[in-house]
Structure formats: structure tokens, C-alpha cells
């Protein structure tokens, strides 16, 4: 563990760089274990409903294991699973609730964007369509609108980024409570979380781009022989699973550190993991 998160030192708020650095250290020091769990999670994704619930639970399990390392109370996989597995369906339900909320938010943002676009078009048409000043203003406002739309999406993501953590770690938490807990902990720290997510995204971007390019290049065409097409499809599926299994533990470790940091800022983290969960 880094000097900024030493188990022997007092728990204290971390900088954006320290959060990402701690996530990287957790990921690197437990890569084999976390990757194995993540690969199991992605294999379960192939099975609808039950498999999706297992994926959610195993993802949360990785975060719980990472968090237990942060507070110097490491758990074995078996110990952590005994706490996480009984809540498997609650993880799936929480994910569905968040998905529905995001969908409603997207619809609302799309409606607002559509209204604004209609107004801008009306301005251009009303100016005769040839007024350069009007066109420049419309273009600038369109750019601002796109940035605002993306900013709103990132803001929403930031409020729900640690949704599974309270459910994985704390007691007396259900699908709705874990969402409200995430909302409560992230209040006032959205910009900070956005910075962390952006840095983490940039770190994983080269690998993700490489994997996507390889998958795109190997996509079978209409002229590909059936057997070769099947082999290519299986290879790209395997590559997708492996690339996802490599990236997932990193993000779950980052989430664990964000949760740790937010609780340290809001609650002072007089944490005793085993006291809270047993």
C-alpha cells in the first residue's frame, strides 16, 4: 500500500491523484485474484438474469475485498462471499433502478435538447438563413449544449458511481437504500469524482481502444467462410471477455478507494468492517 494509505497511519482524505494511485496499487498487488474473479463475472454475463445478478455480486465482491485491504482488515474470498452472495439479487435490483433513473434522465435531457435545437433552427430560419452572426451564435450554442449534455451525464454517473459499495459492505442495506447512500456520500464531491473518473478512464483508454480495434478488424464479413466466421466470432468473444476482465477489477478498486475517501471525509471513518457486517 502507498504511503498515503498506510494501515498504521490515521485515515484521512485523499487527493485525486492518491485515489487513482491507490486503485492502481490495489489492482497490481491483487491482479491474479481480481482478474480471476472478474473473468468469472464476465462468464456469468452470458447467462441471462441469474448470470447478470452473479456478475453484479462478483463485481461488488472485488470492491469489498479491495476496501478490506484499505482499512487493514483483509478478508479471504470465502469470507467476503459469505457477506456478498446473499445480497446477489439486491445488487441486480439496484442496478435496474439506477438504469431506469438514468433512462428517465436521458429522456428528459433529450427533450430539452430537442426544444433548444428547434429554437436555434427557428432563429436561423428567421434570420433568412444567411446571417453569419446568427450562424456563428447557433454553432457556439450548439457546442455549449453538447458539453452541457455530456456534463449532465457525467454528473449523474458520479452520483451513482459507488452504488454497490454500501450494499457490499454495510449492514441493513437494500437496493433502494444503497442508491440513496451513494447519493448522500457523493453530495458536494461530484467535480472531484469526475476528476478521478476522467484520470482512470484515460489510463484504461489505450488498452480499450486496442481491444476494440482488434475486435472490429476481426469481425467476419458476408464473404467469410462459415467455419472461419465462427472461429473469428469465438475469438472476438473471448477477447471481449478477457479485456473486460482485465479492466473491471481496476474500476472496482477505484470505486472502493472513492468510497473509502468519501466516508473518511464525511464520517471520519471510524470503520470496523467486521463489526459492521457480522
Model confidence at 231: pLDDT above 90: no
Percent of the chain with pLDDT over 90: 54
Q: pLDDT tens digit string along 65-94?
A: 999 999 889 999 999 999 999 999 999 999
* 172 or 55, which is more confident: 55
As given in the structure block, the three cell numbers for residue 163 are 452504488
Closest by CA to 42, choosing from 34, 97, 17, 76, is: 34
H-state helical runs in the chain: 16-29, 31-45, 50-70, 77-84, 88-126, 132-160, 164-169, 175-186, 190-217, 226-267, 273-277
In the three-class reduction of DSSP (H, G, I as helix; E, B as strand; rest coil), residue 26 is classed as: helix
Residue-level length of the chain:
278
| Per-residue confidence (pLDDT) for residue 12, from 0 to 100 | 53
* Cα–Cα distance for residue pair 278/272, rounded to 1 Å: 10
The answer, as to whether pTM is greater than 0.75, is: yes
| Per-residue confidence (pLDDT) for residue 256, from 0 to 100 | 96
| Per-residue confidence (pLDDT) for residue 65, from 0 to 100 | 97
Q: Give the residue extent of every domain in the chain.
A: 7-277
| Per-residue confidence (pLDDT) for residue 152, from 0 to 100 | 85
* Gap between the terminal Cα atoms of the chain: 26
* Cα–Cα distance for residue pair 14/35, rounded to 1 Å: 26
Closest by CA to 70, choosing from 40, 35, 30, is: 30
Model confidence at 192: pLDDT above 80: yes
Closest by CA to 178, choosing from 271, 65, 98, 267, is: 98
| Per-residue confidence (pLDDT) for residue 126, from 0 to 100 | 67
CA 55 to chain centre: 14
* Cα–Cα distance for residue pair 201/52, rounded to 1 Å: 24
| Per-residue confidence (pLDDT) for residue 128, from 0 to 100 | 59
How crowded is residue 75: how many other Cβ atoms within 10 Å of its Cβ? 19
Closest by CA to 214, choosing from 192, 197, 238, is: 238
Q: pLDDT tens digit string along 112-160?
A: 878 877 877 777 676 655 567 767 777 787 788 888 888 888 888 899 9
* Cα–Cα distance for residue pair 80/78, rounded to 1 Å: 5
CA 156 to chain centre: 12
What does the mean pLDDT of the chain come to?
86
Q: Give the pLDDT mean for 186-208.
A: 91
Amino acid at each position: 500500500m502507498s504511503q498515503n494509505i498506510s494501515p498504521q497511519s490515521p485515515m484521512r482524505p485523499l487527493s485525486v491523484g492518491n485515489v487513482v494511485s491507490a486503485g492502481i496499487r490495489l489492482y497490481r498487488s491483487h491482479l491474479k485474484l481480481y482478474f480471476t474473479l472478474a473473468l468469472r463475472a464476465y462468464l456469468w454475463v452470458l447467462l441471462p438474469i441469474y448470470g447478470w445478478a452473479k456478475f453484479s455480486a462478483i463485481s461488488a465482491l472485488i470492491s469489498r475485498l479491495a476496501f478490506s485491504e484499505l482499512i487493514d482488515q483483509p478478508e479471504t474470498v470465502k469470507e467476503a462471499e459469505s457477506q456478498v452472495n446473499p445480497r446477489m439479487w439486491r445488487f441486480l435490483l439496484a442496478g435496474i433502478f439506477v438504469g431506469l433513473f438514468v433512462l428517465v434522465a436521458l429522456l428528459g435531457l433529450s427533450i430539452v435538447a430537442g426544444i433548444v435545437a428547434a429554437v436555434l433552427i427557428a432563429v436561423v430560419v428567421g434570420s433568412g438563413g444567411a446571417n453569419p452572426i446568427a450562424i456563428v451564435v447557433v454553432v457556439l450554442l450548439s457546442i455549449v449544449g453538447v458539453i452541457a449534455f455530456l456534463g449532465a451525464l457525467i454528473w449523474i454517473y458520479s452520483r451513482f458511481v459507488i452504488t454497490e459499495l454500501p450494499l457490499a459492505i454495510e449492514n441493513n442495506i437494500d437496493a433502494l437504500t444503497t442508491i440513496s447512500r451513494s447519493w448522500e456520500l457523493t453530495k458536494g464531491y461530484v467535480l472531484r469524482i469526475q476528476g478521478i473518473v476522467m484520470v482512470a478512464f484515460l489510463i484504461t483508454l489505450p488498452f480499450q481502444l486496442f481491444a476494440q480495434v482488434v475486435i472490429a478488424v476481426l469481425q467476419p464479413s458476408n464473404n467469410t467462410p462459415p467455419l472461419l466466421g465462427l472461429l473469428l466470432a469465438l475469438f472476438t468473444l473471448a477477447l471481449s471477455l478477457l479485456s473486460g476482465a482485465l479492466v473491471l477489477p481496476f474500476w472496482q478498486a477505484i470505486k472502493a478507494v472513492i468510497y473509502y475517501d468519501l466516508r473518511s471525509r464525511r464520517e471520519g471513518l471510524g470503520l470496523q468492517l467486521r463489526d459492521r457486517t457480522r
